[in-house]
A and B are shown apart, each in its own frame.
Chain A
Amino acid sequence: MAGAGLLNFGFEFVEIFAFIVLATVGLAVIFGMMGIINLAHGEFILVGAYATTFAFAAGAPLPLAMLTGVVLTAVYGLVLERLIIRHLYGRLLDSMVVTWGISLVMIQLTRIVFGNTAPGIGIPFGQLPIVDGPVYYLVLAVVAVGVLGGLYALFMWTDFGIRARATMQDEATARSMGVDTDRMYMSTFAVGSGLAGLAGALYAPVMTITPEYGTGFLIEAFVAVVVGGASVLVGTVLASGLLGTVNAAVTNVAGTFMGQVAMLIAAIVAIRLMPDGITGLLADWRENRGEGQ
């Protein structure tokens, strides 16, 4: 590929990689760690987008508007967790069906309350020289990697993180060691919802905000979490990388649509070849080479 073509592909990859990571990271926490298949993940992103849009329209500067988006979604997630999600822990398939019901209700309520459109926000920071794509996409990629790093630090190094992971893996033992597991569930779910809100907020300027805004994120997120496999954060990065490459390569050649189809087919093959996801496969390799044990 000529220099510009390669640059275009690179830019395309960065754009899609950031999109998948940001779309997935919230779900990775809720589905990956908490075992709740949240089919309303797209609508959490919707809450983030609408909150940001209306905060911005009310005059708040964009970063502050985005912050409100994140906070509002986290609070919204908390309320939903206490009302409904609390009864679904350990009931994997029921969580899928219930969150699907929530998604239907949220889309239609948004349509009834806010109508079909929300005021648009322009894409900030001009555009890149050669590639002529918006600088904003690079900003998104940096934010995506930053969020992953932040999450890794939060869950691996902080006291909260360790207690949260203990609760998720074995609630009974964690409780027997004095961990307030209820609070852990609430705060972890709030973190997951906040991240979904962040994705909504960050992409508010780029995509037209409609009640169906969230569905655009849902499939990429699910596929990435499943392909990523057990270990939530590392899995998300690897899956986003793999799916992003496939999508970017085919999009460059045959347009965004075929890129989407190619990515979904790659996901199907990946789920088939690695039933436990990429990180599951890595764990097996380590084990077979005798390092693990």
Chain B
Amino acid sequence: MATSDPSVKTTPAVDETGADSSRILQTRGLRKEFGGLTATDAVDFTLEEGELRCLIGPNGAGKSTFLNLLTGQLAPTAGEIYYDGADITGLPSHERVGRGISMKFQVPSVYEGLTVAQNLRIPLQQVVEPDAFDARTREILERFDLLEQWGTVAGELSHGQQQRLEIGMAMAMEPKLMLLDEPVAGLSIEETADIAELLREIADDDGVALIVIEHDIDFVETIADRVTVLDGGSIFREGPIEEIKADPEVKRIYLGEDH
């Protein structure tokens, strides 16, 4: 279990692959095929440090596949992935996570058998010394408004609380890049607003880069610096939210005329 030391951070000026150092993530010609179907088609994607990018697109556009390629759950058929100045294409998931990539799954997956504090302990012990566990846990639970649930078994939490706990666990890893797959699916209006505020705060205060897959356009509008529209496995449009909203083509592929 690689425990990266948060205090020491050296970002190389320009690394040998010529990738601009301020870019936290870059993919080149990333491709994934399942039998006959091309889920991800030669995607060149870049993300700056601390940027909050939303990934939208009709169902089956390859959003989840793209995320799984980044986390290493899926191996690409072709192309490379550069993260934090290094080529991580071949790395298994647990080593990528060790370098600061963390993931919030589409289906909320917390350790339902363990208490909230125990849940947090699993990621925390990767990055922090044991004597700091209690302080760090209190800090995260306060920030994610879960303090009273310290000793409750995660399985008994509400859907919204579980989502917040899972994001909290991802944050406990002190990531530089966080990938979130539909974090507000099935949440109430206030809970969605809380999550939006939280994500914005993580991007701005903690300087963490975020890629968020979400269908709720209003939610995207409130939080996204830029938006990438995926369709048929490739990037269809990319730019600030106002541009994307105004673009008639985007409406067309969403409303399902032939594309």
Q: How many residues of A contact B (CB 8 A)?
A: 7
Q: How far is the CB of B66 from chain A (nearest CB, A)?
A: 20
Does B35 lie at the interface of the complex (its beta carbon under 8 Å from any beta carbon of A)?
yes
Q: Which residues from A are CB-within-8-Å of B34?
A: 287, 293
Q: How far is the CB of A275 from chain B (nearest CB, A)?
A: 17
Does B246 lie at the interface of the complex (its beta carbon under 8 Å from any beta carbon of A)?
no
Q: How many residues of B contact A (CB 8 A)?
A: 4
Bound state CA distance, A293 and B39, in angstroms?
13
Does B256 lie at the interface of the complex (its beta carbon under 8 Å from any beta carbon of A)?
no
Q: How far is the CB of A293 from chain B (nearest CB, A)?
A: 5
Q: Which residues from A are CB-within-8-Å of B35?
A: 287-293
CB interface residues, B 227-246, toward A, < 8 Å: none
CB interface residues, A 267-288, toward B, < 8 Å: 287-288
CB interface residues, B 23-66, toward A, < 8 Å: 34-37
In the complex, per-residue mask of A136-150: 1 if CB is within 8 Å of any chain B CB, else 0: 000000000000000
In the complex, per-residue mask of A171-201: 1 if CB is within 8 Å of any chain B CB, else 0: 0000000000000000000000000000000
Q: How far is the CB of A129 from chain B (nearest CB, A)?
A: 53
Bound state CA distance, A1 and B37, in angstroms?
49
Bound state CA distance, A292 and B35, in angstroms?
8
Q: How far is the CB of A120 from chain B (nearest CB, A)?
A: 54
Interface centre among B34, B35, B37 (most CB of A within 10 A): B35
Bound state CA distance, A289 and B36, in angstroms?
8
Of chain A, the residue at the smallest CB distance from B37 is A293
In the complex, per-residue mask of B133-172: 1 if CB is within 8 Å of any chain A CB, else 0: 0000000000000000000000000000000000000000
Q: How far is the CB of B149 from chain A (nearest CB, A)?
A: 29
Bound state CA distance, A78 and B12, in angstroms?
70
Q: How far is the CB of B199 from chain A (nearest CB, A)?
A: 35
Bound state CA distance, A212 and B37, in angstroms?
54
Q: Which residues from B are CB-within-8-Å of A291?
A: 35
Bound state CA distance, A291 and B34, in angstroms?
11
Q: How far is the CB of B208 from chain A (nearest CB, A)?
A: 37
Q: Which residues from A are CB-within-8-Å of B36?
A: 290, 293
Bound state CA distance, A291 and B37, in angstroms?
11
Bound state CA distance, A290 and B37, in angstroms?
8
Of chain B, the residue at the smallest CB distance from A293 is B35
Bound state CA distance, A292 and B34, in angstroms?
10
Bound state CA distance, A293 and B35, in angstroms?
8
Q: How far is the CB of A289 from chain B (nearest CB, A)?
A: 7
Bound state CA distance, A289 and B33, in angstroms?
12
Q: Which residues from B are CB-within-8-Å of A292?
A: 35
Bound state CA distance, A156 and B20, in angstroms?
60
In the complex, per-residue mask of B185-226: 1 if CB is within 8 Å of any chain A CB, else 0: 000000000000000000000000000000000000000000
Bound state CA distance, A288 and B37, in angstroms?
11
Q: Which residues from A are CB-within-8-Å of B37?
A: 293
| Minimum-distance CB pairs A-B, first 10 | A290-B36, A290-B35, A293-B35, A287-B35, A293-B36, A288-B35, A292-B35, A293-B37, A289-B35, A293-B34
**Can you name 6 A-B residue pairings with CB atoms under 8 Å?**
A288-B35, A289-B35, A292-B35, A293-B34, A293-B35, A293-B36
Q: With contacts A289-B35, A293-B34 known, what are 5 further pairs, Cβ within 8 A? A: A287-B34, A288-B35, A291-B35, A293-B36, A293-B37
